[in-house]
């Protein structure tokens, strides 16, 4: 599974201006609804439900909110670089400024887990995260995410 299987240049938000975790999830759900054709409220509800199980703030300023929707036809990703870091109830209590949203069909099973693992591996690379934090250009963000897989595969 490659990052480019999950995101397109249209699924990059370069400067998301939000002040809370809930607002971030609402804005991401809104954008994901536009990209997937799903209902914004359904996406938001799935994300909130997942957060109730435990935070998706994985540490080092990164969050990977995710969920499954029955009516989704395939995996979809959305990357957002936040204008200002926000509290995301992260496991390390650090504010979050990089968010990778992942949505999967209800029956995705192993594909959903593979996608989560792929995103997690990518965002564990501190040099990639520094580069992502260093630009607010959507094309540059997409290029960094898309081409990082080549260096990680080696």
State the catalytic residues.
66
Kindly report the backbone phi and psi dihedral angles of residue 106, in degrees, each rounded to the nearest multiple of 5, phi listed first.
-50, -40
Residue where the block lists tokens 């990164």: 62
- Which of 44, 115, 45 has its CA nearest to residue 74? 115
Buried b (16+ CB within 10 A) or exposed e, 131-147: bbeeeeebeebbebbbe
Alpha-carbon distance 80 to 123, whole Å?
13
- Which of 88, 96, 102 has its CA nearest to residue 132? 96
């Amino acid at each position: 599974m490659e990052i480019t299987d999950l995101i397109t240049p249209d699924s990059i938000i370069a400067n998301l201006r939000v002040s809370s975790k809930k607002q971030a999830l609402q804005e991401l759900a809104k954008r994901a609804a536009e990209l997937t054709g799903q209902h914004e409220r359904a996406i938001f509800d799935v994300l909130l439900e997942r957060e109730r199980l435990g935070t998706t703030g994985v540490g080092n300023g990164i969050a990977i909110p995710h969920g499954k929707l029955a009516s989704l036809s395939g995996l979809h990703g959305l990357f957002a670089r936040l204008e200002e870091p926000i509290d995301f109830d992260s496991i390390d209590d650090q504010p979050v400024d990089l968010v990778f949203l992942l949505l999967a069909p209800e029956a995705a099973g192993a594909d959903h887990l593979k996608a989560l693992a792929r995103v997690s591996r990518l965002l564990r690379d501190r040099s990639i995260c520094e580069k992502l934090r260093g630009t607010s250009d959507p094309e540059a963000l997409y290029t960094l995410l898309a081409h990082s897989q080549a260096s990680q595969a080696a």
